[in-house]
Structure 1
């Protein structure tokens, strides 16, 4: 599987980008990624961004505005597609996200990435996947598809925005969860727990940044509160950002955008 060569990378403002690189083969089509690269050729830390959409929708270019600050601050930003439900059920997408980590580590020299400084980030359902990538390091059940098995899929940190953290709290009739799991949480109880970051807090926990709006009507704020409490109880390093009166989409709203980004980069400076 050949990636685009650096000589072909176009320059855009303060960073360069590569679009449509295949990182793995999905269930019915190639899985693609876009990369935003800092101008410096020094080895840089990298963030792999996983989009939201309730596991049934969304594309890797949403929200593009969220990723542009990363290369401007010296981080490689890679944002990926993954197979959606109902065509793909848990843990297919999780395995594909881990394949993206391995791919980036395998191509670290080409894109000037420090392979020891890779983090994962996600919004909403993408935050659920990002959390699980970070929390299930070394668990062979979730390694999924893709090449480069000689490389690790572990990450050093995770960034979670408005994330689904406990699937057991949603309605048994929730269409997204039913498509993702192949049934309700009651019907797919074991899978539901495996797919809920809230119930995957064991072993050595990685540093996590977690942001949430306390007026979120899609993913209840109580999920954020409960996850943070459990993470601290498990002695995990966690940094929080609360968007006062913020909705589910707080992360891209002007009144919270800069403060959230400032807090994110402060977290990354300390942990990546």
Structure 2
């Protein structure tokens, strides 16, 4: 039996947002504080190679034109310091460079920011400041902790724009899988101040100007979604929310980017594998973006496994689509070879 997390816990009321005060979900939903290594680049590669032995891990040479700052603290949350890595061009540019916050996947429970260091390095070589940030996973803190953390990461980027040559008017989110869901949610909630409750760099905005969603779900309660089916085992989203969708559907909708699509939604790029359930709600969101005359693109890689952006032959086209889209949105001039 799974009791509702939210009926059993104490709460602190913040502007427009309930925040957990002193209680965690019981049974299988209890945050363990132990690292979950169920999703790694190498375990995903081994699984993908069972279907296609030609798949290889994307590890391009580190460009000589970039700099890196690793393990930079960006906020304290839940009693510990959150960190990020920054990759940026060596050359200075008047007005700074567009920036991209890269968000890793792993079912809101596993994975880490090192997954996308190769992508961040290549983006920096193409004229972007790329930031890979950690966030609290469901083993440590349930929703909305991850959202609060990543909003704080965007504010840190603006607070440190001069040091890292960031154009603070041109910040995008880029995320894969659970990270794609979070990237889309950050962008569609630009007007939702309820998610800006962490007391870090509060003088700065967490708004972003573009979204790149790489196989991330857009709506949790949707005919295409596989999240919330707990018949055989607890789904990743149920762990994250701390409550089944049958008990708190309002919470599951609150975390769905599709819920917030409106006139202020930024231009969006959808990059997808052949696994349809990984982009539940995408077509509905694209329809709404079309009605609102908001620029968007969608590209699917036929027969690609879900973790395709981590592997060859999909890494380079994922990079190219990302750079082309961001240059179109931000008015850049980087060139790619499609």
Q: How does 1:1-272 map to 2 (within 5 A)?
A: 13-42=64-93, 43-168=96-221, 169=225, 170-173=227-230, 174-214=234-274, 216=275, 219-221=277-279, 223-272=281-330
Distance in 1 (CA, whole Å) between partners of 2:220 and 2:105 is 15
Aligned-CA RMSD value:
1.8
Describe the superposition over 1:172-224 as per-residue Cα deviations: whole angstroms up to 9, x where unpaired: 3143111111111121111100111122212322101110012x27x445543
Separation of aligned partners in 2, 1:142 and 1:127 = 17
Contact 1:94 1:144 in 2 (8 A): no
Deviations 1:17-70 (A, max 9, x none): 000000001214210000011111221111011111111111111132222210
- Corresponding residue pairs, total: 260
| 5+ long unaligned stretches in structure 1 | 1-10
Post-superposition shift, 1:260?
A: 2.2
Q: Specify the SS of the correspondent of 1:63.
A: helix
> Can you list the C-alpha shifts for 1:198-255, whole angstroms capped at 9, x where unaligned?
22212322101110012x27x4455433432343234332111111111211222322
What TM-score does the superposition give when structure 2 sets the normalisation length?
0.73
Quote the Cα distance in structure 2 between the aligned partners of 1:222 and 1:80: 25
Which shows bigger deviation, 76-85 or 229-238? 229-238
- Looking at structure 2, the residues matched to 244 and 49 of structure 1 have their Cα atoms a distance apart, in angstroms, of 24
- Structure 1 Cα separation of the partners of residues 254 and 295 of structure 2: 21
